[in-house]
Amino acid sequence: MDLLLIGPPGVGKGTQAARLRQALGIPHLSTGDLLRRHVAQGTRLGTAAAAHMRRGDLVPDHLVTEMALDRILDVSCAAGVVLDGFPRTLTQAEALDSALAGEGRRLAAVLHLTAPGQTLLRRLTGRRICGGCGNGYHLDTRKPRTPGQCDSCGHRLVQRGDDATETARVRLRAHTRQTQPLLARYRRAGVLHEIDGCGDVGDITRRLLAAFAAHATGPAPL
Ligand code: AP5
């Protein structure tokens, strides 16, 4: 029961993937989170990825693919996984397909979250993260009780380096350039389902779950 949540930066993939994880009872894999962990720990992979992430560019395929497949093929994901942020290129998609096929698995659905560019930019530039526990906030839509401070652990809230306006614009352009061919591939295969990523978070989750249920019982996608 592998499910891919795809869409531009800031569209709500992380927010929704966490909710799908709970609803479906399968793990959530975010390559962005994994990469940030590697950067924070100063691993070889993190060191190689950091400059690309700072600029808002995609990290090279060979670095991301090995990291992601290691996790996807781990026993903890044997019953399936909600993929958030992987694959983002055709090369990554081909590697994923053959790895899943080797395990007798396949993508059950590809759900494409969409929102207008101005909404994405506002969501990215207004996002704040707790430096202690990692909880997410937003200056407009998810304010902490005390400005600048986490409701749960009291740590200071920080802005992700790549959420600064100019870098966010670079990320949005990188998405259009490198991920659009991937969308075309899934569209041709008849497995892509477009989901409106605007509005109430709970409503969006319900749209995603309805689309997933419809696709997961349909014909084999790839
Ligand atoms: P990653 O961390 O995956 O970043 P992203 O794709 O740019 O996505 P974001 O995490 O910024 O946004 P999101 O869609 O998850 O939105 P969220 O739910 O947080 O990747 C970071 C970097 O790592 C990449 O730039 C690249 O360098 C590298 N990388 C990762 N994977 C890679 C790969 N496969 N190949 C190569 N490089 C890779 O929501 C955003 C904000 O909006 C939050 O504040 C949230 O509270 C708010 N929000 C969410 N939903 C709503 C709503 N319905 N209404 C109002 N506000 C909302």
Q: How confident is the model at residue 217 (pLDDT cuts 50, 70, 90)?
A: low
Q: What is the pLDDT of residues 20-77, one digit of tens each?
A: 999 999 999 999 999 999 999 999 999 999 999 999 999 999 999 999 999 999 999 9
Place of tokens 């870098």: 167
| Strands lying side by side in the sheet with 28-30 | 28-30, 82-84, 2-6, 107-114, 192-196
Q: What is the pLDDT of residues 151-160, one digit of tens each?
A: 999 999 999 9
88 is catalytic: yes
| Backbone phi, psi, residue 175, to 5° | -60, -50
- Whether residue 222 is predicted with pLDDT greater than 70 in this model: the reply is no
State which ligand 1 atom lies nearest to the alpha carbon of 33. 2
- The first and second tokens of residue 222, run together, are 């790839």
End-to-end CA distance of the chain: 14
Domain locations along the chain: 2-116+176-215
Q: What is the pLDDT of residues 120-167, one digit of tens each?
A: 999 999 999 999 999 999 999 999 999 999 999 999 999 999 999 999
pLDDT of residue 221: 46
171 is catalytic: yes
Within 13 Å, how many C-alpha atoms sit on residue 78's CB side? 2
- Measured at the alpha carbon of residue 166, what is the angle toward residues 163 and 168, in degrees to the nearest 5? 40
Provide mean pLDDT across the span 8-18: 96
160 is catalytic: yes
Q: What is the pLDDT of residues 93-108, one digit of tens each?
A: 999 999 999 999 989 8
Contacts of 67 (CB under 8 A, 6+ apart): 31, 34, 35, 38, 45
State which ligand 1 atom lies nearest to the alpha carbon of 11. 14
Alpha carbon distance 3, 17 (integer Å): 10
- Whether residue 220 is predicted with pLDDT greater than 60 in this model: the reply is no
pLDDT of residue 161: 92
Q: What is the pTM of this model?
A: 0.94
Contact 168, 126 (CB under 8 A): no
Q: What is the pLDDT of residues 172-184, one digit of tens each?
A: 999 999 888 999 9
- The first and second tokens of residue 75, run together, are 């026993």
- Count Cβ atoms within 10 A of the Cβ of residue 156 and give its class: 0-12 exposed, 13-18 middle, 19 or more buried: exposed
pLDDT of residue 190: 84
pLDDT of residue 219: 47
212 lines ligand 1 (CB under 6 A): no
Considering the domain 2-116+176-215 in this protein, what is its CATH number? 3.40.50.300
